[in-house]
Amino acid sequence: MHISALTVVALLQASLVCASAFNADVLLPRNENRSRNRSCTVKSNGNGEDDSRFVLSAINECNNGGHVIFEKGQKYIIGTALDLTFLKSIDLDIQGTIQFTNDTDYWQANAFNQTFQNATTFFQLGGSDVNVYGGGTLDGNGQVWYDLYAKDIYILRPILFGTIGLRGGRIEDLNLRYSPQWYNLVANSSDVVFSNINIAGGSSSKNPAKNTDGWDTYRSSDIVIQNSHIDNGDDCVSFKPNSTNIVVQNLICNGSHGISVGSLGQYVGEVDIVKNIYVHNVTLSNATSGARIKVWPGISSALSGDLQGGGGSGAVSNVTYDGITISNVDYAIEITQCYGQKNLTLCQEYPSNLTISDITLRNFSGITSAKHDPLIGTMVCSSPSVCGNITVSDVTVKSPSGTTLYECGNIEGLKGMVECV
């Protein structure tokens, strides 16, 4: 019997009292809503030419009840933006390597615009009852993008894996390498499981691989992200606007910015909701943050030339971080409603229009980095009227000097053993 991500999240919501023992993996066999009774093998030029037409041909032939095979040992070159949002009851069995071309001019002009934060994707994968697996590799050919971004921060860098408008599916057993920007965008999707994904790929030049988030969820619900290893340079997982009913568990994150809610409240007139999030059994090393909630203030602010915002509204609620192990992480816990605004006086004068409430942080252990010693965390909101009911329990994290201090401010109802300075 197929048990979906939607069912897993419902089970979680019904059993939060014993959530520390929850493990979605044993409940989630691959989708088998409809049998795959046809098999199609993707051809390849084998000489570095664009293989996109072969990919489309195999998918069209085996859509609606088939199994598409990217052969082991074969390299497929993709130089065309592929709209695959029409998929239905199909398996994509990626055993070989798919590499996207480094034609930056083409991709800036033709990659799919996903509307949020100027996000674009090499391809769009959506539809219903879709499985992607096979142990193969998707390679974003990122080095040329890292070098180009160092010269021009306004270029549009494609996201490696775009899950756009998928209703029911599983993406698992894949290696994702050298994404130009975020590795995964999950947008307008529901009932999707990501499992056993290995993410890695830094820069070989002096120009770092920037904004390489592991996953960003956006306008999506009933998503499970689990059992994966992420080695990147930005958020390990980030819950962007209107992410609800999401389980993240059993991850190893290295070099990241933590498991992050946000950023939220970036756009005036937009209402951003993030609720019913459960993060369990995550190890974070060499990171800037462990658990992180980042909200823009009520006034226009600029984090960088290509990332500005503030003034949007909404709410963060019912978010639980449970079982977080850190090593050499700058802040074990970081909560801010002044994202992008260095002037805290101005932030408090124009507090966030987006509320934070019902946050639980429990069962944290490890040692922070020396960067903020003696602090192990910071929880500073813009006003207690829009930030409250935050509970911290069983946190044994220490700074290198042995202290357990937090920077705290403007929180109504901060509960637990929290020593603030």
Active-site residue list: 257
Rounded CA gap, 311 and 269, in Å?
Answer: 8
356, amino acid identity: I
Task: Phi first, then psi: give them for residue 105, nearest 5 degrees.
Answer: -65, -45
Phi and psi based region of residue 413 (left: phi greater than 0; alpha: psi -120 to 50; beta: remaining):
left
Tokens standing for 7? 């069912």
Contact criterion met (CB below 8 Å) for 274 and 242: yes
Chain CA centroid to CA 34, Å: 29
Contacts for 1 with CB less than 8 Å, ≥ 6 apart = none
Alpha carbons 10 and 33: distance in angstroms, whole number = 19
State the residue for tokens 């001019």. Answer: 105
- Contact between 262 and 274 (Cβ < 8 Å): yes
The answer to whether the CB of 263 falls within 8 A of the CB of 296 is yes
How, if at all, do strands 215-218 and 237-239 pair? parallel
What token pair was written down for 293? 């909630």
Give backbone dihedrals phi and psi of 81, rounded to 5 degrees, phi first. -70, 125
| Ramachandran region, residue 396 (left: φ > 0; alpha: ψ -120 to 50; beta: rest) | alpha
Among all chains, which residue has been given the structure tokens 């999030």?
Answer: 277
Give the length of the chain: 421
CB-based burial of residue 48 (10 Å sphere; 0-12 exposed, 13-18 middle, 19+ buried)?
Answer: exposed
CA distances from residue 30 to 64, 72, 131, 193, 407 in whole angstroms, order as listed: 16, 21, 7, 9, 45
Taking a C-beta distance cutoff of 8 angstroms, is the pair 193, 28 a contact?
yes
Q: Which residues contact 149 (CB under 8 A, 6 or more apart)?
A: 155, 157, 180, 207, 210
